């Protein structure tokens, strides 16, 4: 499996240039597209991607060489490009930390009431707080 770039080791960032292919190129093309550059997002670093890369570099005060290296990535991250996480890295310093919870989303009032119980409340005047008006807290559902 090919390594992708990470926040913890910039040396893992794959340099992209003319004729590069793959997921990282597609991610770069999506970023350029979001910046207003018109190109096909196909995962192939062709002459159009190179031209738009040079334009992005020039606009952002970088050497316009058409190669996506550490300085170009850094500028892209400043402008909102998302990092690609290494899916095999689950250490506490990785982008995959913390792990996803092993329970399902409790969307909707009925689902939350089934899980936590139903309670009565009233709004506290002149506040964003509520006051629970039943023994819901004492019933042991909230810990």
Walk along the chain (143 residues) in steps of 10 and give the mean pLDDT of each run: 41 84 89 92 95 97 96 92 66 67 78 79 89 69 50
Q: From the CA atom positions of the chain, what is the Rg in Å?
A: 24
pLDDT at 107: 79
**Residue-level pLDDT at 86:** 59
> What pLDDT was estimated at residue 110?
85
At the fourth CATH level, the homologous superfamily of domain 10-78 is PGBD-like superfamily/PGBD (1.10.101.10)
Q: Where are the domains of the chain?
A: 10-78, 103-143
| pLDDT value of position 53 | 98
Which candidate, 49, 79, 80, places its Cα nearest to that of 66?
49
For 30-64, b where at least 16 C-beta lie within 10 A, e where not — what string? ebbeebebeeeeebebbeebbebbbbbbeebebeb
Helix or strand holding residue 111 (H, E): helix 109-116
- The predicted pLDDT at position 58 comes to 97
């Amino acid at each position: 499996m090919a390594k992708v770039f990470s926040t913890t080791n910039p040396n893992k960032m794959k340099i992209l240039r003319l004729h590069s292919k793959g997921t990282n190129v597609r991610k770069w093309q999506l970023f350029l597209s979001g910046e207003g550059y018109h190109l096909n997002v196909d995962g192939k670093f062709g002459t159009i991607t190179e031209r738009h890369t040079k334009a992005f570099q020039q606009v952002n005060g970088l050497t316009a060489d058409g190669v996506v290296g550490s300085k170009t990535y850094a500028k892209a991250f400043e402008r909102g490009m998302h990092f690609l996480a290494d899916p095999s890295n689950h250490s506490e310093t990785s982008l995959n930390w913390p792990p996803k919870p092993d329970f399902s989303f409790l969307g909707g009032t009925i689902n939350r009431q089934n899980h936590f119980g139903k309670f009565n409340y009233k709004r506290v005047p002149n506040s964003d707080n509520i006051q629970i008006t039943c023994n819901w807290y004492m019933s042991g559902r909230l810990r």
